[in-house]
Amino acid sequence: MGSGGDVGINARKPRVLCLHGFRTSAEILKKQIYKWPESVLQKLDLVFVDAPFPCQGKSDVEGIFDPPYYEWFRFNKEFTEYTNFDECLKYIEDLMIEHGPFDGLLGFSQGAILSAGLPGLQEKGVALTKVPKVKFLIIIAGAKFKAPQVAEKAYSSPISCPSLHFLGETDFLRPYGAELLESCVEPVVIKHPKGHTIPRIDDDSLKTVTGFIERIQKLCEAQD
């Protein structure tokens, strides 16, 4: 009998659109994700893209990562009103048409908020109407949309696609990431001791991540 490894080599890699955080970039997200074990990276077809709008203020990663920096949309102090949001949704759909088809989304911070909200918006016919249904989510330091008119559409029904969530113990978004879990059907959760960052995958979490990837590989193959 062939080993599990053989299956992995021939299996179709799930294609994942990766959305970076606020005022960062595709290049920065790529550098952070590429610290993950090779055994994880080689099972996924990861596509990193810059957000549509150049950064309109100071970036939190200035001095750590080089510019340019980009943002997906702007928001007010209370996070309840968004600017350029519709343009952002159209931009993501155009990317998916151009570089897809995609199976799932991976997002960090603002990119994670977007990723987690898109399946619901897609179901409601508000976003991603010209592309295949989002089959799974990988959410790192995520939260829910706060703008009422977006949130009521995004979470009106539970997020039913498989979702993997990374929650940092000292992340300022952690309570909001936990709140997002309540909208997901059977989310897979990995907790780590760090803050608002992309954690490395240690031996403990590797099993969970690998199990999730195997599950989505089967899902993608079954739906092909």
Between CA 84 and CA 73 the distance in angstroms is 5
SS3 state of residue 152: helix
Q: What's the pTM?
A: 0.94
Beta bridge partners of 145: none
H or E element, residue 210: helix 203-223
Q: Give residue 79's pLDDT band: very low, low, confident or very high (50, 70, 90).
A: confident
Residue among 126, 140, 53, 138 at smallest CA distance from 102: 138
Cβ atoms of 164 and 209 within 8 Å: the answer is yes
pLDDT in tens, 138-147: 999 999 999 9
The residue ranges of every structural domain in the chain are 13-223
- 210 CA to centre of own chain: 17
Count of C-beta atoms within a 10 Å radius of residue 198: 23
* Residue 57 clears pLDDT 60, i.e. is over it: yes
Between CA 72 and CA 55 the distance in angstroms is 9
The Cα diameter of the chain in Å comes to 59
Q: Which residue has the higher pLDDT, 53 or 6?
A: 53
Q: Give residue 8's pLDDT band: very low, low, confident or very high (50, 70, 90).
A: very low
Between CA 129 and CA 50 the distance in angstroms is 21
Count of C-beta atoms within a 10 Å radius of residue 4: 8
Q: Give residue 223's pLDDT band: very low, low, confident or very high (50, 70, 90).
A: confident
Between CA 187 and CA 8 the distance in angstroms is 23
Between CA 165 and CA 67 the distance in angstroms is 28
- The percent of residues in the chain predicted with pLDDT above 90, rounded, is 90
pLDDT in tens, 33-52: 999 999 999 999 999 999 99
pLDDT in tens, 164-208: 999 999 999 999 999 999 999 999 999 999 999 999 999 989 999
Pairing of strands 53-54, 45-49: unpaired
pLDDT in tens, 80-134: 889 999 999 999 999 999 999 999 999 999 999 999 999 999 999 999 999 999 9
**Average confidence score pLDDT of the chain:** 93
* Residue 2 clears pLDDT 50, i.e. is over it: no
- Give domain 13-223's CATH superfamily: Alpha/Beta hydrolase fold, catalytic domain (3.40.50.1820)
